Amino acid sequence: MERGKGKEPEKEKIREKGKEEKEKKEVEKEKIKGKEKGKETGKEEKNKCREEEKKERETEKEKEQLEGKDKEKKDNNALTKPPLEPLEKNKQILVLGLDGAGKTSVLHSLALNKVQHSVAPTQGFNAVCINTEDSQMEFLEIGGSEPFRSYWEMYLSRGLLLIFVVDSADHNRLPEAKKHLHQLIGTNPILPLVVFANKQDLETAYRITDIHEALALSEVGNDRKMFLFGTQVTENGSEIPSVMQDAKDLIAHLAADMQ
């Protein structure tokens, strides 16, 4: 009987040991599950981060595209937007005419008293101040291509006088120049008009009398002061022709009378 009782503790020890082994296995299983879960969570986190990075890149790309479009719009607006409206006491001398007529070259030559060629047509507005012995004149040239012609009449009401430049050798566009000129002067019956029949040095250029007829200048009105000059800007850097100096003096006189 005593020997049987001695075996009971051993059985208990075996049970306890088995229980401990079982618990260890459960713990190991939980650890493995935890690691696997951690791996899955890590994968999910990585995938989530990748998705967020992708979205951020797409968002940045969209922003750049929008900024590019805004910049393009701003650049386009910069070309077509008129300068600040001049005060009434600072009315300007308007220089208008079709693109390619030579407005910028004429204007810069008058300002410098030397022939100054312009390479490209004015894309927008070109303001120039010209000093004389008695005064300072403010000129505003507006581009002659189609997008800028809508501004011509807008600025005409604030002009001291109108200088209209035509290409004497461009016969095909003289009717178009005539149409725009008469539309302009029709809105103001007394505004002084100075016409530059430019590029007189070219062999195909119409002479002064031909330009007078082609532009129907006899119809501009009896109450208007009107002058026609044949001009040319040939040798870059040379002194301006005497006729351009005469035109400059006349413009200064007309501007003084209108102020």
Digit-coded pLDDT (tens) for 109-151: 888 887 766 655 666 788 888 877 777 889 999 998 888 888 8
Which CATH superfamily groups domain 89-258? Answer: P-loop containing nucleotide triphosphate hydrolases (3.40.50.300)
List the structure tokens of 159.
């002009």
Res 79: pLDDT: 39
Sign of CA dihedral 13, 14, 15, 17: positive
| Tokens matching residue 114 | 């030397």
Is 230 annotated in a binding site? The answer is no
Residue range 167-190: average pLDDT?
94
**Residue ranges per domain, the chain?**
1-81, 89-258
104 is in an annotated binding site: yes
pLDDT tens for each residue of 21-30: 766 667 666 6
Give the integer Cα–Cα distance in Å for 27 and 250.
107
In this prediction, residue 240 carries a pLDDT of 81
**Is 122 annotated as contributing to ligand binding?**
yes
Q: Which residue has the higher pLDDT, 90 or 153?
A: 153
Alpha helices in the chain (DSSP H): 2-80, 103-112, 150-156, 174-185, 208-214, 242-258
Cβ-based neighbours of 185, under 8 Å, separated by 6 or more = 162, 191, 193, 220, 221, 224
Determine whether the annotation assigns residue 237 to a binding site: no
Q: Is the pLDDT of residue 206 over 80?
A: yes
Lowest mean pLDDT among 5-19, 134-148, 190-204, 209-223: 5-19
Task: Please indicate if the annotation marks 42 as binding a ligand.
Answer: no
If we measure between CA atoms, which residue out of 247, 208, 254 comes closest to residue 111? 247
At residue 123, the pLDDT reads 65
| Average pLDDT score over residue span 163-186 | 95
pLDDT in tens, 48-66: 656 666 666 666 656 565 5
- Is 111 labeled as ligand-binding? no
CB 220 within 8 A of CB 185: yes
Q: Give me 256's structure tokens.
A: 């003084």
**Model confidence at 178, in pLDDT bands (50, 70, 90)?**
very high
d(CA 34, CA 55): 31
Q: Which two tokens stand for residue 112?
A: 């410098």
201 in a known ligand binding site: yes
Query: 205 among the known binding-site residues?
Result: no
34 annotated as ligand-binding:
no
Q: pLDDT-derived band of residue 16, with 50, 70 and 90 as boundaries?
A: low
- Is 102 annotated as ligand-binding? yes
Those residues whose C-beta lies under 8 Å from the C-beta of residue 193, and which sit 6 or more positions away, are: 161, 162, 164, 185, 220, 224, 225, 226, 227
Compute the distance between CA of residue 206 and CA of residue 169 in angstroms, rounded to an integer: 6
Q: Which two tokens stand for residue 115?
A: 């022939």
More confident residue, 71 or 9: 9
SS (H, E, C) 176-198: HHHHHHHHHHCCCCCCCEEEEEE
Q: Choose the most confident range, by mean pLDDT, from 80-84, 118-122, 222-226.
A: 222-226
pLDDT greater at residue 191 or residue 233? 191
Task: Give every CB contact of residue 36 below 8 A, 6+ residues apart in sequence.
Answer: none
Give one DSSP letter per residue of 4-41, joined into a string.
HHHHHHHHHHHHHHHHHHHHHHHHHHHHHHHHHHHHHH
**pLDDT band at 74; cut points 50, 70, 90:** very low
Alpha-carbon span 212 to 71, nearest angstrom:
45
